[in-house]
């Protein structure tokens, strides 16, 4: 993704504490960094640290080989861009390198949308990608409802 396109992802972005967001971010050049079990678990630990810091409540996530889907609820005064940027920055430092493409895609979940349905969509990603037959067989996901 070029820098120009990354900047375009910010157009219309808002941050609202208490709102749920579906975040998608991809690795640089779509390298399958998270095929490595330890790298994937490192990213998951960082997502959990954001919850401990009370910056984001993780509702569901899946770490795919070359991207992350994160359904989260924003908490506190930090902007969405700051929370996602912190996750990407910390994971890059812990994994020793520039691992992420610039920017991220976010979808502000409307109140009428089905959060459990979105969580199911997120965790079913490895099945749709043909990595496993059942989400139960994929080790890098979680959801508070499932």
Helix axes 80-94, 37-52, angle to 10 degrees: 140
pLDDT by residue for the chain (146 residues), tens only, comes to: 444 454 554 455 678 999 999 999 999 999 999 999 999 999 999 999 999 999 999 999 999 999 999 999 999 889 999 999 999 999 999 999 999 999 999 999 998 889 999 999 999 999 999 999 999 999 999 999 87
Question: In Å, how far are 21, 66, 123, 146 from 105, measured between CA atoms?
Answer: 10, 14, 17, 24
pLDDT at 136: 96
Domain total in the chain: 1
pLDDT at 24: 98
pLDDT at 111: 84
pTM exceeds 0.85, yes or no: yes
pLDDT at 13: 62
Question: How remote is the C-alpha of 56 from its chain's centroid?
Answer: 11
Residue in this structure with the two tokens 């609202």, named with its chain if needed: 16
Q: What CATH number does the domain containing 57 carry? A: 3.30.70.1290
> Residues 10-49, buried b or exposed e (16+ Cβ, 10 A)?
eeeeebeeebbbbbebbbeeeeebbeeeebbebbbebbee
């Amino acid at each position: 993704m070029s820098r120009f396109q990354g900047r375009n992802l910010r157009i219309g972005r808002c941050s609202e504490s208490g709102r749920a967001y579906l975040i998608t971010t991809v690795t640089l050049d779509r390298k399958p960094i998270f095929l490595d079990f330890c790298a994937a678990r490192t990213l998951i630990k960082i997502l959990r640290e954001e919850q401990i810091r009370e910056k984001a409540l993780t509702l569901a996530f899946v770490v795919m080989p070359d991207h992350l889907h994160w359904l989260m609820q924003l908490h506190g005064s930090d902007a969405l861009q700051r929370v996602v940027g912190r996750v990407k920055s910390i994971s890059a430092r812990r994994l020793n390198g520039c691992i992420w493409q610039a920017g991220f895609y976010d979808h502000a979940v409307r109140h009428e949308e089905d959060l459990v349905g979105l969580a199911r969509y997120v965790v079913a990603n490895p099945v749709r990608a043909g990595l496993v037959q059942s989400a139960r067989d994929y080790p890098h996901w979680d959801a508070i409802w499932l």
